[in-house]
Amino acid sequence: MTFRSADYAPARAPRANGRLAFVPALRAARLPVARTTLAVALLWLVALLAGCSPLAFVNDAAPAHTYERTSGIGYGSHDRQRLDVYVPAMRPASAPVVVFFYGGSWRSGARGDYLFVGEALASRGIVAVIADYRLYPEVRFPDFVSDSAQAVGWTLENIDRFGGDPGRVFVMGHSAGAYNAAMVALEPRYLGVNGAPSRRVRGFVGISGPYDFLPLRGPTLRSVFGYPDTPPDSQPINLVTPAAPPSLLITAASDGVVSPGNTARLAAKLRSAGVRVQEVVYEGVGHRSIVGAFAVPLRGLAPVLDDVARFVERT
C-alpha cells in the first residue's frame, strides 16, 4: 500500500503559467516523458517475462565487480535492525559514506531490494550502508526514526573498519526513508540517545520525501503517527535550525505519491535559516522511477546518481 499525494501535503509547489516556478537555486532536469514512460514500461515487461519483480530485475542487472558487500550486520537486537555495507572495489582510503533508508510508507521494504543503490554509490567511490528498520504495525512513530538513528550511530562508530571516513557520513533516503533520514539529520536528540552527536552527520540527501504533512489524512497514516495526538515535532520542517547540515533535496515534478511541495517547503525553511541547500526537480520521472534511476538500466531517466555523488564530493 502507498499513500496518495494528498495524504502528505495540503499545499502544492508554486507554479507559474502552469509550470513549476523554480527558485534560482533550483536546477530542473527535463527529460522526455515519453522516453521515461517507455523505459519503465519495458522494465516491467522484461521483469514480468523473466518471472521476477522489477526490483529483482534491476538488482540482477547491477554489476558485481564494483563493490564488496558485507550483509546482515546487526546494529540492534531485533531481526529488522540489520544493515548491509557496500565497499567500493578499489577500496579508497577514508571514503565518504552514505547511509540509505528506503521507502515503503513505513510498512514495507527490505534492504536486499536496494542492492542497486549500494552498487551505484560504491561505483562512485562511496561506502554505502543500507539499513532495515522496524515497521508498522509492529511499531509506530518515533520507533522507526530511532532505529534509523541507531543505524547511523553504528555507522559513525564502526565504518572506519570498512574504509569509510566517520567524519564524512551522509544520511539519505527515498520517500518514507527520506523522512527518517531528515529526522535523524535535523533532530539532535535521536543521535544523542545513541551516543553520536548530530554534528557528525556531514549532510542530508532527501529524495521525494514527506517533510510537512500535517494535518494527517488517511487511517493508516493517522495510526502510524498517533492521531489525534501527533506532535508537531513529528514534522521535519518544524525541526530546522541554523545548525542543520547541508542538504540536497530531490523530487519529481509529477510525483503523484508525495507532493513536490514537501521538498519546496523544506528547502525554503532551510534556506531561511541560512543552511546550504540545493533543490532539484526532475521532469519525466515519478515517485518510484526517481529512485530506480540509480540502477544501471534506468540511469538515463534522471541524473540522480551524478547529483548525489557531486553533492557528497563537494560537501
pLDDT at res. 2: 42
pLDDT at res. 61: 87
Name the burial class of residue 145, with classes exposed (0-12), middle (13-18) and buried (19+) by CB atoms within 10 angstroms of its CB: buried
pLDDT at res. 275: 98
Query: Is the dihedral angle over the CA atoms 258, 146, 197, 83 positive or is it negative?
Result: negative
What is the Cα–Cα distance from 35 to 129, expressed in whole angstroms? 31
pTM over 0.75: yes
Domain residue limits, the chain: 5-314
pLDDT at res. 39: 57
pLDDT at res. 25: 40
pLDDT at res. 52: 59
Q: Digits of tens for pLDDT over the chain (315 positions)?
A: 344 444 454 433 433 333 333 333 444 454 454 555 555 555 554 544 455 577 888 898 899 999 999 999 999 999 999 999 999 999 888 999 999 999 999 999 999 999 999 999 999 999 999 999 999 999 999 999 999 999 999 999 999 999 999 999 999 999 999 999 999 999 999 998 766 665 589 999 999 999 999 999 999 999 999 999 999 999 999 999 999 999 999 999 999 999 999 999 999 999 999 999 999 999 999 999 999 999 998 999 999 999 999 999 999
- In 46-177, DSSP assigns E strands to 67-74, 82-88, 95-101, 127-131, 164-174
Question: Quick one: which of 86, 155, 71, 94 has its CA closest to 122?
Answer: 86
Q: What is the architecture of the domain spanning 5-314?
A: 3-Layer(aba) Sandwich (3.40)
What is the Cα–Cα distance from 107 to 277, expressed in whole angstroms? 29
Name the burial class of residue 1, with classes exposed (0-12), middle (13-18) and buried (19+) by CB atoms within 10 angstroms of its CB: exposed
